[in-house]
Amino acid sequence: MKNPSLSLTVQTVLLLVLLALGIGSRFLPHPPSATALTAVLFASALYLQPRFTIALAVLLLLWSDMTLGSYELPVMASVYGSFLAIAGLGMWCARTKSIGGRVLMLASSSVLFFLITNAAVWYFTPWYAKDLSGLMLSYTLGLPFLKNMLLADFLYTPALLVVLALVFSPSPTPKTSLYVS
């Protein structure tokens, strides 16, 4: 799907549109963890240069966190690291044409985010016992967030990719005549 013919100007405009979409999805009312961030990063990985995808991940989080507020630095680092990993999965996904592979990468991104960030919350906050039962409790209590993220990822990602495919698909060549002469 990556389109090498997109000019730098078009890629920059798309980057700004994706940035606005990602930030907007964090500010509009939504269930916890149900944003379009993964969709935006996967779309970026499919249409933009890798450096734009990495920049987009960082900018999305920085901009919205500066406005929404921050949280424990180690937990924040796990969120940023998780979304950078999701951007990486998106870039890997851009290399495969397999729908099954892409679906697996999308599901993996949600699960990866869940595993990393809940482990960070368990380890770096005083909310859970620092043993296996505390970690399992963190994961158990995080399941509704995983469900929301999976639903959002599987709703927003295909929708965004369909819109982008329509925007960037080549125009059909017009028929000059209905009759062969």
- Tally the domains of the chain: 1
Which range is least confidently modeled, 5-9, 131-135, 143-147, 177-181?
177-181
Domain CATH number, residue 140? 1.10.1760
Q: Flag whether 58 is in a domain.
A: yes
As a whole number, the mean pLDDT across the chain is: 88
Q: Flag whether 3 is in a domain.
A: no
Q: Flag whether 161 is in a domain.
A: yes
Instruction: Calculate mean pLDDT across residues 73-101.
Output: 89
- pLDDT confidence tier of residue 100, bands split at 50, 70 and 90: confident
For residues 97 and 135, the model is more confident at 135
Q: Sign of torsion, CA 29 65 88 169?
A: positive
Q: Flag whether 180 is in a domain.
A: no
Range of the domain at 37: 8-168
- Give the angle 6-4-99 at the CA atoms, nearest 5°: 110
Instruction: Calculate mean pLDDT across residues 77-86.
Output: 93
Q: Please report the DSSP string for 98-161 in residue order.
A: -HHHHHHHHHHHHHHHHHHHHHHHHHHSTTS-SSHHHHHHHHHHHHHHHHHHHHHHHHHHHHHH
